[in-house]
Amino acid sequence: MSAFPYTLETSPIPRLGLVVLQVDETIEEDFRRIFPPEIARLHIARIPSGAELNPDTIAEMEGALPAAASLLPGFEPLDSVGYACTSGTTLIGADRVHSLIAKAVPTKSATNPLTATLAACEHLGLKRLGIVSPYIASVATPIRNAFTAAGLTVPETLSFGEEVEARVARIAPASIAEAARTLARSAELDGIFLSCTNLRTLDILAPLKRELGLPILSSNQALAWHMARLSGIEIAPIL
């Protein structure tokens, strides 16, 4: 049998890779809304993660990250790869996350929700940030510390104190919005950050921004914005 001749063709559409927690039910849907197929080709790899989010399960993800990232298509370099875990990045370290991804998969750039949100704060000129998160204290405190270490003032934070990821994905957007309103009333802020890729925040960002008169950032929105910026992708304004 002779092989039928064919030609190889490379798509000009930018290619994005996303390493998503096994238990995350939110970010993939958000990204497919932000990046329709005519704008970007989105490739997803899942990383093993515990049903509960705490420093021990996050530490285990550090060891699993290279293998997960290596499962992304690597025939040609991706335009950007994102590690989709805010708390994981904070406890592992943003530089360490970047190094692990860069060694595991060919990519022109890499980022994560912490790095992306700090870049968004700089882009918007934010100095005083309130943080809403679902986390227990041992996870929430390092995130606050990461922002203050980067030079931001964090006058107030609110957390739902939830450790079970399946419940995090089911926290009502109305509850998240009310937490943001409470923060805005309790402190003088330049903006509010809704932390966690598993929180359902995408549909409340614009209404909250109009209502509170403040920039409202979220892990998924900031990560998408930063990956688009790193890749030269034009998307509708989401900050």
Q: What is the pLDDT of residues 72-95, one digit of tens each?
A: 998 999 999 999 999 999 999 999
Orientation angle between helical segments 94-104 and 113-124, nearest 10 degrees = 120
Answering whether pTM is above 0.85, one says yes
Residue 193: give the domain boundaries.
115-219
49 DSSP assignment: -
Q: Are residues 171 and 103 in the same domain?
A: no
Per-residue model confidence as pLDDT tens digits over 16-31: 999 999 999 999 999 9
Tokens of 198: 């598993």
Tokens of 183: 């923060």
Q: Are residues 122 and 188 in the same domain?
A: yes
Does 161 map to a domain?
A: yes
Q: What domain count does the chain have? A: 2
Q: What is the pLDDT of residue 97?
A: 96
Q: Are residues 28 and 105 in the same domain?
A: yes
- Which residues are registered as beta bridge partners of 21? 47
Q: What is the pLDDT of residue 222?
A: 98
- The C-alpha angle with vertex 178 and arms to 175 and 184, in degrees rounded to 5, equals 145
Low-confidence ranges of the chain (pLDDT < 70): none
CA distance 126 to 222: 14
Q: Specify whether the CB–CB gap between 24 and 84 falls below 8 A.
A: yes
Does 1 map to a domain?
A: no
Q: Are residues 215 and 226 in the same domain?
A: no
